[in-house]
């Protein structure tokens, strides 16, 4: 369809969302990079200016000390590695749990499919904070899970689950599982059953045709699901803060502390820039995949 019968109308339609996203999504990143090159100062706002103009001279002071600071302090390296590890393992867990679920939904009766899909989708819209909070009551030392286990005599002393990495894994898989199932379902439901019949005619049954036909065909769904889980989990703050313990090092939590407790905006910005640098490849991968999906090429 041609929208361009009036050129100014077309420009307006493209321009409004483009301008908004550039101003409130793209431009802020450039400012983060700028602030990460400034110095912390006791001032409002609490950093020094990178550009200054005095005596007809434009002074640009790049201060790399924030990045050097990050490289020297082992805490930050450990936090990045911790985030990547937790994100990687939970993505795998989500895939292992989510794939069979998506598969079962895609194979269900048509009217059952919409209900199951709603059941999966509802939590993605509902209060992550509250659902994580629900786990605090379950996993605590005198929580519901420990009470049950003690009650049936399986354990003698309460298990320490809350405030450990285990609780973080439970919380992350729990919160992000729907984000894995939805793209996988969207992909699996489009598969042509005649392909599996053809594979069966050629002698491939059960697991063989599943591995050789279904899994390769669902590659785009797997990529989309994994990216939807992995990327946000790397920067996750709420789950490690509420369910994790002192030994849970995740970069989102460290950045939050740098910003809100230490009020060191430049170091927090440098942390964000490095996090973004780590995530840029997965984000581009996701965007390509998503752009194709948006245009209906997948």
Partner 1 sequence: MKRFGFSNLMLVLGLLFIYLPMVILVIYSFNASQLVTVWGGWSLRWYGGLADNTQLMSAVLRSLQVAFFTALAAVMLGTLAAFVLTRIPRFRGRTLFGGLVTAPLVMPEVITGLSLLLLFVAMGQLLGWPAERGLTTIWIAHTTFCSAYVAVVVSARLRELDLSIEEAAMDLGARPWKVFFLITVPMIAPSLVAGAMMSFALSLDDLVLASFVSGPGATTLPMEIFSAVRLGVKPEINAVASLILLAVSLATFIAWYIARRTERSRRLALQEAGANEVPER
Window 170 to 199, contacts with partner 1 (CB under 8 A): 174, 177-178, 181
Among 172, 234, 249, 267, binds partner 1 (CB under 8 A): 234
Which among 60, 58, 56 is positioned nearest to 48, based on CA atoms? 60
Positions in 206-225 near partner 1 (CB under 8 A): 206-207, 210
Among 71, 129, 195, 198, binds partner 1 (CB under 8 A): 129
Q: Which one, 168 or 279, has the nearer CB to partner 1?
A: 279
Positions in 239-258 near partner 1 (CB under 8 A): 241-242, 252, 255-256
> Does residue 122 touch partner 1 according to CB under 8 A?
yes
Positions in 6-45 near partner 1 (CB under 8 A): 6, 9-10, 13-14, 16-18, 20-29, 31-32, 35, 45
CB of 207 to partner 1, least distance (A): 7
- CA separation for the pair 173, 94 (Å, rounded): 6
Q: Which one, 66 or 269, has the nearer CB to partner 1?
A: 269
Among 116, 161, 243, 249, binds partner 1 (CB under 8 A): 116
Positions in 59-98 near partner 1 (CB under 8 A): 97-98
Tokens of 240: 């490690």
CB of 62 to partner 1, least distance (A): 17
Which among 81, 123, 106 is positioned nearest to 217, based on CA atoms? 106
Tokens of 192: 């042509």
Contacts of 80 (CB under 8 A, 6+ apart): 251, 274, 275, 278
- Strand ranges, E, within 15-62: 51-54, 57-60
Q: Which one, 100 or 219, has the nearer CB to partner 1?
A: 100
What are the Cα distances from residue 28, in Å, to 62, 99, 212, 217? 18, 36, 45, 38
Q: Phi and psi for 40 in degrees, rounded to 5?
A: -65, 140
Look-up of token digits 């110095």: 39
Among 172, 223, 227, 243, binds partner 1 (CB under 8 A): 227
Tokens of 128: 């992550």
CB of 213 to partner 1, least distance (A): 13
- CA separation for the pair 166, 282 (Å, rounded): 25
Does 45 sit behind a cis peptide bond, omega within 30 degrees of 0 on the bond before it?
Answer: yes
- CA separation for the pair 122, 43 (Å, rounded): 45
Size of the site for partner 1 (CB under 8 A): 101
In the 8-state DSSP scheme, what is residue 40?
Answer: B
CB of 224 to partner 1, least distance (A): 10
Among 84, 89, 92, 231, binds partner 1 (CB under 8 A): 231
CB of 236 to partner 1, least distance (A): 7
- CA separation for the pair 124, 185 (Å, rounded): 15
- What x/- string results for residues 255 through 294 when contact with partner 1 is judged by CB under 8 A? xx--xx----x--xx--x--xx--x--xxx-xx--xx--x
Q: Which stretch binds partner 1 (CB under 8 A): 57-65, 67-75, 191-199, 204-212?
A: 204-212
């Amino acid at each position: 369809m041609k929208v361009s019968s009036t050129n100014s109308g077309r420009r307006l339609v493209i321009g409004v969302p483009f301008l908004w996203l550039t101003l409130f999504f793209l431009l802020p990143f450039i400012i983060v990079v700028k602030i990460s090159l400034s110095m912390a100062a006791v001032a409002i706002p609490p950093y020094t200016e990178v550009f200054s103009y005095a005596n007809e001279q434009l002074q640009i002071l790049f201060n790399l000390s924030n990045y050097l600071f990050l490289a020297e302090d082992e805490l930050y390296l450990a936090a990045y590695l911790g985030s990547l590890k937790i994100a990687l393992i939970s993505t795998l867990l989500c895939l292992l749990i989510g794939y069979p679920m998506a598969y079962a939904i895609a194979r269900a009766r048509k009217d059952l499919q919409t209900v199951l899909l709603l059941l999966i989708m509802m939590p993605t819209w509902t209060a992550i904070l509250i659902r994580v909070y629900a786990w605090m009551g379950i996993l605590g030392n005198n929580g519901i899970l420990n009470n049950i286990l003690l009650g049936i005599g399986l354990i003698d002393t309460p298990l320490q689950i809350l405030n450990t990495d285990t609780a973080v894994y439970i919380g992350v898989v729990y919160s992000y599982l729907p984000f894995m199932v939805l793209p996988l379902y969207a992909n699996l439901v489009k598969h042509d059953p005649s392909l599996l019949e053809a594979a069966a005619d050629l002698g491939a049954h059960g697991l063989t045709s599943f591995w050789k036909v279904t899994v390769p065909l669902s590659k785009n769904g797997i990529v989309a699901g994994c990216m939807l889980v992995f990327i946000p989990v790397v920067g996750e703050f709420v789950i490690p803060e509420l369910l994790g313990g002192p030994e849970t090092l995740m970069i989102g939590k460290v950045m939050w502390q740098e910003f809100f407790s230490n009020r060191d905006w430049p170091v927090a910005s440098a942390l964000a820039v490095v996090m973004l640098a780590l995530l840029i490849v997965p984000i581009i991968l996701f965007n390509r995949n998503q752009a194709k999906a948006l245009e209906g090429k997948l």
